[in-house]
Structure 1
Amino acid sequence: MDKNKRILSFLISFFMVISFIVPINAEKDEKNIFKEILKDDFEKNSSIQEIDSAEQKIYMVGVEGESILELLDQGYDEEKANKIALDIQNKAIESIKSFKNVKIGEKYLYTTNGFSITTDRNTAKKISLLPLISSISEAQVYEKRVNNVRNILEIASIKKEYGLDGAGMVVAVLDSGVDHTHKDMNIDSDNVKLTEEIVNGLKSKNKITYGKYFSSKIPFAYNYADDSSNVVRDTLKERADFSHGTHVAGIIGANTKDGGVTGIAPNAQILNMKIFSNNPKVPGASEDKIVKAIDDAVKLGADL
């Protein structure tokens, strides 16, 4: 990555960190909490499993094996890395199939090796003891964070000073969705990383059977929250909620044709990874959907 692209990546990362999503239940990290409890004294802590023990919840399960990215860093070629990661994941999934009240959810291979399940707390504790399971924790749920970027003008001045416009970059926006019909979702440069042909090739290579190419500005969009291709809201009330993601995408990559304000990287491409549901009764974005969207973003060549 050249110097200018590194600077621009930092600016976008800075914005995304302070404007992204926050946990609804910001409790302490529960990674490996079940193994820690059981390691100390299973019987002593048996009262814990009686609390909401039958309630079905989503859990994030880590596998005792490397992700594809970790294997690539070790020198394996992509085909071999994929096979190694997938084999250990399949064995881990097979090892929990004897539990009848477990539903397998999302699977992750590229950035992390794991999957999500829906089950009760008691079963989750038992699964945590299996030899191929490295960690298990209840999936967190995140809400949209409404925050004004106080230093956006300073960011814009740095962008102008270095002559940065985001050409050749791909930014994944994980939010409430991006309106691909918005008048500012344009791109001027012919220097795009993802053409429709390249996107289709990456989807085929990585077995991504969902998502749609809308334009050179938004070459991929998918509703991960609802497992749906419906990434656009229809009513005025729905669009007010939907606008949060479009606002974030605009600050990153708006490219207006009428002399208005442009984003940090007006010629960057935007991946529309919708992680908030169209259903108003769903309170926030679930961790399992967020990890799936991140995994896909990396597969599709996102720089951020």
Structure 2
Amino acid sequence: MKKHMRKALSFVLVLGLLFSAVAVSAFIVPSSNVPVLAETESKRSLLPADFDTTVIKKQFREQKAAELSKLRELLADTEYMSEVVRVMIELNAPAAKQSGKSESSVIASQKSVRDAVRKITGSEAINSYGYLVNGFSFMAKRSDFQKIREIPGVKNVSEVPVFETTMFNAPDMTKASQVWEELGFKGEGMLISIIDTGIDYNHKDMRLSPEGEAQAKLSKDAVAGLIAEYGLDGKYFNTKIPYGYNYADKNQEVVDQHLSGRPYDADYVSMHGMHVAGIAAGNATDEDLDA
């Protein structure tokens, strides 16, 4: 249902922009553009003789009508309208970047509107923003959107889109499967390096297959020899992660423990490095993939 609503809104917007552009260009025809117009007419002559724009216009009108009809259905759908979703509420007052005020003072000035939204939704603000955008986020029913829009000081109310992972089609989307099949490159047996925020070397997907264990390029003894030979500061972790070092903090703690500050949760850790490592070298078991 969300997808249909977004499609309808985006279609109306694009159609509006298209017609606006046509309207403007129809009234601005400087004499200096006569050669350009002649060139346009020349290109138009390349179109098939039976090319009829009325067919395209009709298709646009029919698609617009269908999308608007679907939108009306969604608005009349009680279950859809009563669903609680995350919403971004933007205020009329300028943000700190535009007003020159401090971010904290902008956020503090939101209190009366936040209180009004709280009375409607029965929930608390999730995040407040004040530097580039003056606004905050709440959880609210879609049926409450119009009530929130009517609060004095509210500029815009928009549902925050939710994106779901689709990892099973990722190889095809990134053309990785094409590389596997046509070039025979699957990454098997390769030794790679990743410099990022860290890695969880105890993660269940950070493992070698039995065949990989037998063909591991760096053993614990081999890594110890390299550390001694080159005076390295890192250490061996396991057969999957044979060497690691925290170059930022200059220690051997490679698990990402740095608080990112986003979202505003004291327990939140970035784990970007683990994300990258998982894409590059994650090796889940068949059981986990089927789960």
Compute the TM-score of the two structures, normalised by the length of structure 1: 0.38
| Larger fraction in helix | 2
Bigger Rg, which one: 2
Compute the TM-score of the two structures, normalised by the length of structure 2: 0.39
